[in-house]
Structure 1
Amino acid sequence: MKVTALNIHPLKSGRAIPQTSVSLRLDGFAGDRRFMIVEPNGKFITQRDLQALAQVEAVPVECGVRLSMNGQSLTAIFDPVSRLDVTVWGSAVSAAVAEENVNDTLSGWLARPVRLVHMDDDATRLVGEEWAGRPVPVGFADGFPILITATASLADLNATLSSAGQQPVGMDRFRTNILVDTEEPWEEDFWESIDIGGIVFDLVKPCARCIMTTQDQTTGERTGGNPIQGLAVKRMSADRRASGVMFGWNAVPRGEGTVSLGDAMSIVTVRQERWPMKIRG
């Protein structure tokens, strides 16, 4: 098994940027989900309620980020002194906030009042103690530093969609960081820890999927096959600790280094039992 795709998402809910090689820190890939659009009061915003974010491309630059949307672009440079208290799924973070002229421009692009914030070196967020054994650092990702998915599982999901007369979907719907080439569908459920390029990752929690998977990741439109319906056939969690349909695994890196396309993946430890799922007849 090997790594066949790597992605970062500099802006939370913005477009993915494929990578050939990426630096890994304990809080995830360098540049991944370090910027975020929030309400004026600091509450995070995603494609779940603002589909147009799928149209925003973000490229990190020194001390900031360059954003583009529909032929327009701007560069935001952050002063670490200017900060805003923001929330991400209940986590409170003191983040650097963009200047008002940047926020005004973005509000025009997105047709609602918003602000742009940055998880800079002065910001801290720790999550996941229940699943990871101890709190782990993370950027603006929903819950964990890294998301790992597998090719055979997507193929199986698309077979389910096809049997229901729906169109196949791409892996971009699942906003993965590391895609691993596999032969058996859902075999990742048994991976407790894996090694990629000499770095160990603990797979700590399956990833519950939301309405974002039904959205085209370049336009934000809800179109094509519906992964939620396809996953509901045999990927509905039967464990009350994590509800909903599951695709991919949240992972915690236990070291730092570089991950590259083509890196071999090996299984370090396995689970004795698969995560329990409700299977529809």
Structure 2
Amino acid sequence: MATVTELLIYPIKSCAGIAVPEAEFHVSGLVADGVHDREWMLVTHDGQFLTQREYPRMALVHPRIDGDAVDVTAPGMPPLRLSLAHDSAARGVTVQIWDHSVEAADCGDAAAAWFADAIGGACRLVRFPPGAQRPTSTKWTGGLPAETRFADGYPILVIGQASLDDLNAKLQAAGRAPLPMNRFRPNLVVDGIEAFEEDYVESFALDGLVLRPVKPCARCPIPAIDQATGIPGPDPLDILQAYRANPRMEGAVCMGMNCIVTAGAGLSLKVGQQLDTAVAF
């Protein structure tokens, strides 16, 4: 059994997350209080997606759900309020996430100016349109269809607490400080399984909801960025490289598993609930 210890959504891609006590698991990712995971995203003026890789200060942009809006704060900035109501007059744009071209709605000049000041670079804020679909690659799903919004590739990222504990033990043995889970930006954190056992779980399930891990999560330099300060520091990938280089991923360093919902879309999980795990070693 695996116990749900954290549920997190990231309303704005690569900005701070929100820990929630309960979330709905949709085919396209988590939803809490009407807000979808990675529903908004920052892009360049020509539509290329932006992350903390380019602007570490995105870690300091904090969204908060407040009724029918998301309030966004950043150091030295007045709050910005993003309505949950979709603007039917918003300008449609095509944006790029890796090799995916995605249709989006531009959120206007005022939001663009606010975020440009907050992160220290020119950008636009875009939103995933209602009714739109972004299919994920079926290469890793065994042909099963899935969707996501502005996530890199798949809708849900699961990490076991024991996996982080294992890494932190190795960091401390090397004389380095342990890292919090927020460096790895999961949606679902589970306890009660062995370190990196999530790599081998065929499914996490509860009351009709079934999550299937499909692809190891290749890590980029973002785990080196302190999410409390937005300042890059020592990169844990040098430690992970010694034992987490995955031959299935052409040697990429991996931690966590990308998952899809294969049954029970729309059902919810709460922190503290226990999930049945089917494991194939």
Q: TM-score higher than 0.5 here? A: yes
1:88-145 deviation digits (Å, cap 9, x = unpaired) = 1111111111111221222222222110001131432111211112331101111111
The 2-side partners of 1:32 and 1:242 are apart by 28
Q: Structure 1 residues 259, 32: CA separation in 2 closer, same or farther (over 3 Å shift)?
A: same
Q: Work out whether 1:76 is the aligned partner of 2:77.
A: no
Shift of 1:188: 1.7
The 2-side partners of 1:127 and 1:63 are apart by 29
Question: Which of the residues 116, 120, 130 maps onto 2:129?
Answer: 120
Q: Which residue in the other structure is 1:52 paired with?
A: 57
Question: Which of the residues 227, 243, 247 maps onto 1:234?
Answer: 243
Q: Which residue in the other structure is 1:276 paired with?
A: none
Preserved CA contact (<8 Å) 1:128 1:134 = no
Preserved CA contact (<8 Å) 1:95 1:118 = yes
Shift of 1:212: 0.2
Total equivalences in the alignment: 269
The 1-side partners of 2:101 and 2:5 are apart by 35
- Counterpart amino acid of residue 252 in structure 2: G
- Counterpart amino acid of residue 199 in structure 1: L
Q: Which residue in the other structure is 1:246 paired with?
A: 254
Question: Which of the residues 154, 163, 174 maps onto 2:184?
Answer: 174
Shift of 1:168: 0.6
116-125 or 61-70, which moves further after superposition?
61-70
- Counterpart amino acid of residue 112 in structure 1: G
Q: Which residue in the other structure is 1:43 paired with?
A: 48
1:180-233 deviation digits (Å, cap 9, x = unpaired) = 00352122222122214531111101111110001111222113x532122112
The 2-side partners of 1:62 and 1:94 are apart by 27
Report the TM-score when normalising by structure 1: 0.90
- Counterpart amino acid of residue 231 in structure 1: L
192-201 or 87-96, which moves further after superposition?
192-201
Q: CA RMSD in A?
A: 1.8
The 1-side partners of 2:47 and 2:71 are apart by 21
Report the TM-score when normalising by structure 2: 0.90
Look up the SS of the partner of 2:130 in the other structure.
coil
- Counterpart amino acid of residue 119 in structure 1: F
Preserved CA contact (<8 Å) 2:10 2:18 = yes
Structure 1, unpaired ranges of 5+ = 273-281
Question: Which of the residues 97, 100, 107 maps onto 1:98?
Answer: 107
The 2-side partners of 1:193 and 1:128 are apart by 19
- Counterpart amino acid of residue 151 in structure 1: Q
Structure 2, unpaired ranges of 5+ = none
Preserved CA contact (<8 Å) 1:80 1:122 = no
4+ runs of 1 displaced by more than 6 Å? none
Shift of 1:263: 1.2
